[in-house]
Structure 1
Amino acid sequence: MKRIFLGISVVLAVFISGFLFKSFSAPSLATTSIEDALKNQWGIIGQTIHIEPIEDQVVVFSKKGTGDSYTLRSDFVRRNLFGWKWVWGGGFGGYTGQYIEQVPGITSPLLWGELRNNKIQKVKVTNVSKGNFYEAKTVSYLDTRIWFVFPSKNDKVLNIEGISEKGEVIDSQKID
Structure 2
Amino acid sequence: MQVIHRDSFDNGVLLFLKQYEHKEGTFLQIEFVHKTWLGWKWVMGGGYGLSNRLGLDEALNYMSMPKFKGIEGPYPIVFGQITNSTITNVIVTISGEDAGKYSAKLIEYGAGQRLWYVVLPSSASAPYEIEAISGDGVKVASRSFEDSRDFASVLMSN
Could you tell me the TM-score, scaled by structure 2's length?
Answer: 0.75
Determine if the alignment matches structure 1 residue 133 to structure 2 residue 101.
Answer: yes
Q: In 1, Cα distance between the equivalents of 2:45 and 2:99? A: 30
Q: Partner amino acid for 2:142?
A: S
Distance change in 2, residues 1:47/1:127 (3 Å):
same
Map Cα deviations across residues 21-51 of structure 1 (whole Å, 9 max, x no partner).
Answer: xxxxxxxxxxxxxxxxxxxxxxxxx221110
Query: 2:19 aligned with 1:52, yes or no?
Result: no
Matched, 1:105 2:61: no
Given residue 62 of structure 2, which amino acid in structure 1 is its aligned partner? G
Contact 2:30–2:46 under 8 Å retained in 1: yes
User: 1-side partners of 2:76 and 2:124: how far apart?
Assistant: 9
Equivalent residues of 2:9, 2:74 under 8 A apart: no
Say what the alpha-carbon RMSD is for the aligned residues: 1.9
Structure number having the greater strand percentage: 2
Q: Percentage identity across aligned positions?
A: 29
- Aligned mates of 1:70, 1:64 — CA distance in 2: 8
Secondary structure in structure 1 of the residue aligned to 2:136: coil
1:122 aligns with 2:89: yes
Q: Which runs of 5+ in 1 are unaligned?
A: 1-45
Shift of 1:72: 0.8
Higher relative contact order (CA 8 A, sep 6+): 2
Give, in angstroms, the shift of residue 142 of structure 1. 0.6
Change (3 A) 1:47 1:168: same
- 1:89 is matched with 45
In structure 1, the partner of 2:143 is 173
**Gap runs ≥5 in structure 2:** 52-60, 147-158
1:76 and 2:32 equivalent? yes
Instruction: Provide the residue aligned with 1:24 in structure 2.
Output: none
Aligned counterparts of 1:146 and 1:154: Cα–Cα separation in 2 = 24
TM-score, length of structure 1 as denominator length: 0.68
Q: Which segment drifts farther, 94-103 or 159-168?
A: 94-103
- 2:129 aligned with 1:164: no
The residue correspondences of 1:1-12 to structure 2 (distance < 5 A) are: none
Which structure shows the higher helix fraction? Answer: 1
Counterpart residue type for residue 53 of structure 1: S
| Residue type of the alignment partner of 2:86 | K
